[in-house]
Homo-oligomer: A and B are copies of this chain.
Amino acid sequence: MAAQGVEAPVKRPQIDILNDALNSGTFVQVRRMLNSLPAAEVADLLESSPPHKRQILWQLIDLEHEGEVLQEINTDIGGEFLREMDAEELIAVTEGLETDDLVDILQQLPEEVLNEVLQSMDSQDRQRLELILPYDEDTAGGLMNTDTITVRPSHTMELVLRYLRRHEEIPPFTDTLIVVNRKDEFLGLLPIRHVLVSDPSMTVREIMQTDCQAIPASMADSEVASLFERDDLISAPVVDDQTNKLLGRITIDDVVDVIIEDADHSLMSMAGLGEDEDTFSRVYRAAPRRAIWLGINLLTAFIAAAAINVFEETIEQIVALAILMPVVASMGGVAGSQTLTIMVRAMALGQISRSNIHWLLNRELAVAALNAILWAAVVAVVAVAWFDDTRIGTVIAMAMVINLLTAAMAGVLLPLLLKSMKIDPALAGSVVLTTITDVVGFVSFLGLATYFYL
């Protein structure tokens, strides 16, 4: 029955076709399919396959196709394939890759294999690579390619067009030519669409845009993504932080990957998972990280248990409290995680600052107060009807109000506090928040009961 609901989006039942072919042993068909699909789709198929099938599929992909697939696939999975290759295979596979993808692959190799691969390249390619290799994957330098086309300010449009025609191919995502001086320092940009409509005798200097800045190589990748979004860029030049010399350019395809990763980060972190988590990772890879997360949560669960323990005697006398106490804790947890989720996303978007945080805290408190009054009343009525005891209604309603207001306050302030301590709010926030709402929920409910009953 479950399988009925699993129908993948119509566009891609390929994974099922592929599997049927694999299972029936018609490898010829599988091989033909894998080598005719676009690399991005093959990468999707590999990512959607359990590890043992991945290995089989990988063997069936032609060597000259493997490089393209490697640049599209999840780094962890690609790394596994790479570790099994010798230098010779690596050299064959990495031939013709874009520099940034090549660097991503090379950075995963052990030193000696890396050197062997570097030795195999011609000196120009090697020099380019050695320029990029030092930059971290998460910076503009790590995102850039070296396939820039540069022009000088004194060139005329006619010369520029002739110069372009001399290229066998203009690299994809080339919407602008980069204007540099003799020292290769960045001066401005010349959009090709302006070249096309300009008088052939005009010079680059007359047409180029100078109100755009080049991206320093050390800029964080998510900041690069913001720039691309803000200015609707297709490509942007990258320069050395100190010298302003042109190093390369970043293209939108790689920026989209950054955007997706950043967006996945909050979702996955809030469940204690990595944003690049491989859906089909093996047990021994998936288990340890989750064990740690469960361990941390166990600790917080015991803290909550210890809070209940304080009121052992009260519970002994009124068992209804044990029955109702999870209600108070759970409502606080749910309300708190709503506020936390809003904060985590707003912080990721850079929306939160000292000038609006007080307004937001007040709004959350007001929303919590309204909902607390509404649902506390409902809970009170149900509790009184259930246990035929008016006091328990009063107690649970008061505890609910306390816990929902606490949840709102913690949901706003906790992520700020965590961030100021350089802890990722998306990762740590939900654990700490649930501990707070559990403890406050149990203590307020059982504490008030102790006060009213004993």
Give the interface of A toward B (CB within 8 A): 1-9, 11-13, 15-16, 18-20, 38, 40-41, 44, 47-50, 161, 164-165, 167-175, 192-193, 196-197, 223, 226, 229-232, 234, 252-253, 256, 259-260, 263-264, 266-268, 270-273, 277, 279-283, 286-287, 290-291, 293-295, 297-298, 300-302, 304-305, 308-309, 312, 315-316, 319, 322-327, 329-331, 334-335, 337-338, 340-342, 344-346, 349-357, 359-360, 363, 366-367, 370-371, 374-375, 378-379, 382, 413, 416-421, 434, 438, 442
Contact B327 A298 (CB under 8 A): yes
Residues of B within 8 A of A18 (CB): 355
B367 touching A290, Cβ below 8 Å: yes
Q: Is the CB of A438 within 8 A of B287?
A: no
Considering the chains assembled together, what is the distance between the CA atoms of A287 and B341 in angstroms?
Answer: 15
Within the complex, the shortest CB–CB distance from A402 to chain B, in Å, comes to 15
Q: Which residues of B contact A273 (CB under 8 A)?
A: 338, 341-342
Check B379 against A298 for contact (C-beta < 8 Å): yes
Residues of B within 8 A of A319 (CB): 312, 315-316, 322
A367 to B12, CA, bound (A): 29
Q: Is the CB of A367 within 8 A of B283?
A: yes
- Please measure, in the bound complex, the distance between the C-alpha atom of A344 and the C-alpha atom of B359, giving whole angstroms: 33
B298, A354: Cβ atoms under 8 Å? no
Q: Is the CB of B279 within 8 A of A301?
A: no
Specify which of B167, B230, B354 is in contact with A6 (CB 8 Å cutoff). Answer: B354
Known: A2-B416, A13-B353, A277-B342. A363 touches B327 (CB 8 A): no
Q: How far is the CB of A380 from chain B (nearest CB, A)?
A: 12
Q: Do residues B2 and A413 form an inter-chain contact, with CB atoms below 8 A?
A: yes
Complex contacts, A229 vs chain B, CB 8 Å:
40, 256
**Would you list the 3 A-B pairs with minimal beta carbon distance, nearest first?**
A5-B420, A263-B263, A19-B355
B331 touches A329 (CB 8 A): no
CB-defined A-B contacts under 8 Å, sample of 13 = A6-B357, A167-B197, A172-B193, A259-B260, A280-B363, A298-B331, A298-B379, A301-B327, A308-B322, A312-B323, A315-B322, A316-B319, A326-B438
Q: Which residues of B contact A356 (CB under 8 A)?
A: 15, 19, 48-50, 280
Residues of B within 8 Å of A438, CB to CB, are 326, 330
Given A167-B197, A230-B40, A305-B324, also A293-B334 (CB < 8 A): yes
Residues of chain B with a CB closer than 8 A to A2's CB: 357, 413, 416-417, 420
Contact assessment for B40 and A353 in the assembled complex, using a CB-CB cutoff below 8 Å = no
Cβ contacts under 8 Å, A337 to chain B: 271
Interface residue from B171, B302, B370 paired with A327 (Cβ < 8 Å): B302
Given A301-B331, A305-B323, A327-B302, does the pair A11, B226 have CB atoms closer than 8 Å? yes
Q: Is the CB of B338 within 8 A of A293?
A: yes
> Is A169 a contact partner of B197 (Cβ separation < 8 A)?
yes
Residue of B20, B259, B281, B346 near A279 (CB, 8 A) is B346
Report A71 CB to chain B, min CB distance, Å.
Answer: 11
Q: How far is the CB of A52 from chain B (nearest CB, A)?
A: 9
Contact A334 B297 (CB under 8 A): yes
Whether A363 touches B256, Cβ cut-off 8 Å, given contacts A16-B355, A326-B438, is no
Given contacts A40-B229, A334-B293, A338-B272, contact A375 B301 (CB under 8 A): no
Task: State in angstroms the CA–CA spacing of A354 and B3 once bound together.
Answer: 5
Report A22 CB to chain B, min CB distance, Å.
Answer: 9
Whether B286 and A375, one on each chain, are in contact in the complex, defined by CB atoms closer than 8 angstroms, is: no
A378-B341 Cα distance, complex, nearest whole Å: 31
| B259 near A232: Cβ-Cβ < 8 Å | no
Give every chain B residue within 8 A of A371 (Cβ-Cβ).
287, 290-291, 294
Q: Tell me whether B282 and A363 are in contact (CB under 8 A).
A: yes
Structural contact, B234 and A378, CB atoms closer than 8 A? no
B353 engages A7 (CB within 8 Å):
yes
**From A338, which residue of chain B is reached at the shortest CB distance?**
B271
A252:B267 contact, CB within 8 angstroms: no
Residues in B whose Cβ lies below 8 Å from that of A370? 283, 287, 291
Could you tell me the distance between the alpha carbons of A279 and B295 in the complex, rounded to whole angstroms? 33
Identify which of B20, B232, B301, B360 contacts A330 (C-beta below 8 A): B301
A32 CA to B250 CA, complexed, in Å: 32
